A and B are shown apart, each in its own frame.
Chain A
Amino acid sequence: MIDRDTVLHVAALARLDLHEDEIEPMARELSAVLDHLETIGELDLDGVAPTAHVLASESRLRADQPHTSLPREVALDQAPDASDDGFRVPSPQA
């Protein structure tokens, strides 16, 4: 069962603002889904290795060769707020 405090804690981890009237429905919906997911707790999985990727058994590395990357003005073009040389945000110290 997910309570109000858990919802607020997880929302903070997820960097997601929730309005007051969104908290209780979120708790209810998450609880319902999690109840259903409990079935995986019934299985005996002792000693079973986890599978993160079905086919990618090892990480491949590409050749370490320099190449041109996205030009700065192109990379900045779609930013909601960009200055000449970067993405503009409020100061983290604000």
Chain B
Amino acid sequence: MTDPISLTAVEAAAALRRGELSPRELFDAYRQRAAADDTNSFTWLADDPTTAGAGGFGGEDRGVPGADTVLAGLPVAIKDLFCITGVPTAACSNLLRGYRPPYTATVVARLQEAGATILGKTNQDEFAMGSSNENSAFGPVRNPWDRSRVPGGSSGGSAAAVAAGLAPVALGTDTGGSVRQPAALCGVVGLKPTYGTVSRYGMIAFASSLDQAGPISRTVADTALLFQHMTGPVDPRDATSIGWGGADELGLPTAERLDGLRIGVPVELLGEGVEPGVRAAFDAALRRAEDLGAEVTDVALPHARHALAAYYVLAPAEASSNLSRFDGVRYGNRVDADDLVSLYTRTRHDGFGPEVKRRIMLGTFALSSGYYDAYYGRAQQVRTKIVEDFRAAHEQVDLIATPTSPTVAWKLGERVDDPLAMYQADTSTLPFSLAGVPAISIPCGLSEGLPVGLQLSGPVFSEQRILEAAHALEQAIGFDGTPALGLDAVTDGGAANGGAA
């Protein structure tokens, strides 16, 4: 019997459906590794005796999914930003520490209906605000490739858990790059779908016009498998959700060639700040694409360089409004006071971490009387220009390629005192977020022994084309993720201990 950890999610789900692998066996294999984790990727694990009633196998005591379901018991790690009935959900904030939601996010419920079980909740930057997972009330996550380095953020726990073989697949969220950038820094695959294709109901809101749930996995096909069951019909509980056929319309990718595919490279996103090693791995990936038959050309995104400024007005503005609900009245933790306003202000002072406070202040300022037009109004106009840039670019090319992150994973603590340096980690992902288009990050090589991500993006609803191209490139590149996986046994047939200490 092969070590179940070494199976891809597609392979594991097939083995579960055929009855060659039991859901309990697969769950226990990952649960055991996750319990022995030294990357701090999880904030809570299912089947935890201290959370009886909420933490039964698969969460919510739902019982074991049948072999007649597609995922048939595949364990999924869920970012702490998603509500699951009775399961501790804190968005990694002290303000919500201990909160047990009375409802489950639609995307989680859809995965459960497809047969997924909940393995645990993963660490993240508080309220998804950060690019290094150092803004977590549950402590930073360590990168499985080098434990002195950050995993990226904000879905750092989800990316690290998948990279380290603690979960077969994970759910993350991406507002400005929070699925793609940690996937890149941890050497795994991450997809930010077209805005609206996955319901946001039950996903704690950061910036509602940008937030989107996305899968993180070790292979492109695994990301496709998860995404098939995340999307679906319009969710009446999310007015911005867009109905899509899910598994009926999206297939698992099989492409081996890229003949006729036009890939555009925006020069605006390859300027200063891109490390030479990242550039080299990116250029090598483009040559692979040409070898497979793609045509690589330059393309212009003239307003992309303004995306950072527009994003850091729009996202904090929306956050300052969304986070007003955390006032110590209906849920979460409270600091008692004699008067109501002091109850609000002290609760928020003690509950929020420094970066969340900074963004609430920034957003409140940008929306305040006298500054609204100069900041929020202009940022929305810049977003229009960026949307137009992408539309024009896609009249010339099918897909757009960039490095996902201008750098590889940096040292823990290196940027914590410099918010701007931290914000600049997302320069390559932000324009795509503002345009609302889908984008994937796949590992395309190493620089200084650390993973480099390739970002591939297309027009809205072009997920299938992106997944096919990413799959063909993945096969051609042959990235080796085993150093982070800690599974020496994978290549020689598998051992039962799975590396759990």
Contacts and interface: CB of A to CB of B under 8 A. Distances in A.
Interface in A55-70: 55-56, 59-60, 62, 70
Interface of B: 99-103, 194-196, 209, 234, 236, 239-240, 242, 303, 305-306, 308-310, 312-313, 320, 324, 327-334, 337-346, 348-349, 352, 357-358, 360-362, 364-365, 368, 374-375, 377-385, 387, 419-420, 423, 434-436, 460
Contacts of B381: 43, 45, 48-51
14 contacts: A7-B361, A16-B345, A16-B360, A30-B361, A30-B362, A30-B365, A32-B419, A33-B419, A39-B305, A45-B378, A50-B384, A51-B380, A80-B334, A92-B340
A49 B177 CA distance: 25
Interface in A1-35: 2, 6-7, 9-11, 13-19, 26, 29-30, 32-34
Contact of B100 (A40, A45, A78, A91): A78
B338 A94 contact: yes
A50 B374 CA distance: 13
A43 B385 contact: yes
A41 B234 CA distance: 38
Contacts of A53: 209, 240
A39 B374 CA distance: 11
Contact of A15 (B240, B341, B423, B435): B341
Given A14-B320, A15-B324, A54-B195, A41 B435 contact: no
A7 B320 CA distance: 15
B344 A80 contact: no
Given A2-B365, A18-B349, A33-B420, A74 B374 contact: no
B104 to A, nearest CB: 13
B1 to A, nearest CB: 44
Nearest to B326: A15
B242 A55 contact: yes
Given A51-B383, A55-B460, A94 B340 contact: yes
Contact of B358 (A15, A26, A43): A26
A53 B306 CA distance: 18
A74 B358 contact: no
Query: Could you tell me the dominant secondary structure of chain B's interface residues?
Result: helix
Contact of B361 (A10, A19, A56, A91): A10
A90 B338 contact: yes
Given A33-B312, A87-B330, A78 B99 contact: yes
7 A-B pairs with the lowest CB-CB distances in the bound complex, closest first:
A54-B436, A50-B380, A80-B334, A17-B345, A17-B349, A78-B331, A14-B364
A70 B83 CA distance: 15
B365 A10 contact: yes
A18 to B, nearest CB: 7
A9 B460 CA distance: 41
Contact of B334 (A9, A34, A75, A81): A81
A19 B5 CA distance: 49
A79 B102 CA distance: 12
Nearest to B460: A55
Given A54-B387, A55-B196, 18 more contacts: A13-B364, A14-B348, A15-B327, A15-B345, A30-B365, A36-B308, A37-B309, A39-B305, A40-B310, A40-B379, A48-B381, A50-B384, A53-B209, A54-B209, A54-B434, A54-B436, A70-B103, A87-B330
Contacts of A51: 380-381, 383-384, 387
Given A50-B377, A78-B331, A90-B339, A60 B435 contact: no
Nearest to A75: B102
A77 interface: yes
| Residue of A19, A30, A40, A59 with most chain B CB atoms under a 10 A cut-off | A40
